[in-house]
Amino acid sequence: MSAHEDEVARDNGSLPQAGNTAGQVALEAGDAPGKGVAPVAAGASRPEYVDFNVEDFPGGLRACLEAILMVTDQPQQAEDLARVLAVDQAAVDEALKGLQADYGGDCASLPDPTASGPVSGRTPRGFELRHTARGWQYANRVDFEPVVSAFVSDGQTARLSQAALEALAIVAYRQPVTRAQIAAIRGVNSDGVVRSLNVRGLIREEGADAETRAAFLVTTPMLLEKLGLESLDQLPSLAPFMPSESSLVPPAVQED
């Protein structure tokens, strides 16, 4: 690409504003995390709101990916993460696989930026970075299912908050329903209460929306057991709790 073409590409937003292009900065095997990350490829769409470089953050690309995946309840595709962070997808793929191996304790081939040689014998984490057809997502490691079950069972004695009860009612009566639909009905972000209900074993993910790939939420047999019901058909009707039509009609405007 000529100097003039390069300048035009930068003005159009197809190249990062940093001085290095994808051809000048390559992601090499063995680089420390966050170093040598290739910017978004020429011709790719760079979001207008991205005014940062992942290399400027402590931990670089890997730490940025961890921060994003830690706050989302939905699996994320590598291509979407690459677009948001304005880096090449190949770099994101490699970083995600590195994190996956790191959490599993398989670090013999991964460099340690604080040591002179590779890491070995690292203890596996209680969680893992799971990759499915829907994307990448943090999940509890199945080996620790007894520990998690004990915690969930112990927490059943705690009362649900009003927000959690609202979200649970929406799932019970509208299932299958997505997190976005719950938030739309309640008028507020509900990720926290949904996560709490999921941890308690009252709701779970089952299937996904074909268009948005958002996970559907449904109630579990444990909820029926707690309510003393045999099926969802025994849930009380919502009609007695709905406002009357007269209360929904605004008062008539009196003419002068």
On whether residue 241 sits in a domain, the answer given is: no
pLDDT at residue 82, rounded to an integer:
94
Q: How far is CA 49 from the centre of its chain?
A: 20
Distances (CA, A) of 119 to 35, 127, 130, 165, 234: 18, 19, 22, 46, 56
Same domain, 14 and 114: yes
Same domain, 85 and 184: no
Same domain, 39 and 66: yes
What pTM does this model have? 0.49
Q: Tokens 């020429």 identify what position?
A: 42
Q: Comparing 2 with 95, which gets the higher pLDDT?
A: 95
In the chain, how many domains are there?
2
Dist CA 213 CA 136 (whole Å): 13
Same domain, 106 and 55: yes
Sequence-separated (6 or more) residues with CB below 8 Å from residue 71: none
Please name the residue ranges forming H helices in 111-229. 145-154, 162-174, 179-186, 191-199, 221-227
On whether residue 251 sits in a domain, the answer given is: no
Same domain, 34 and 82: yes
Q: Tokens 């953050």 identify what position?
A: 57
Q: Comparing 94 with 29, which gets the higher pLDDT?
A: 94
Q: How confident is the model at residue 79 (pLDDT cuts 50, 70, 90)?
A: very high
On whether residue 168 sits in a domain, the answer given is: yes
The domain boundary, picked from 106, 140, 174, lies at 140
CATH number at residue 189: 1.10.10.10
26-49 pLDDT, tens digit per residue, is 333 334 343 455 555 444 566 677
Same domain, 130 and 219: no
On whether residue 242 sits in a domain, the answer given is: no
Same domain, 122 and 223: no
106-144 pLDDT, tens digit per residue, is 654 444 544 444 444 578 888 899 998 889 998 888 888
The range of the structural domain enclosing residue 182 comes to 159-234
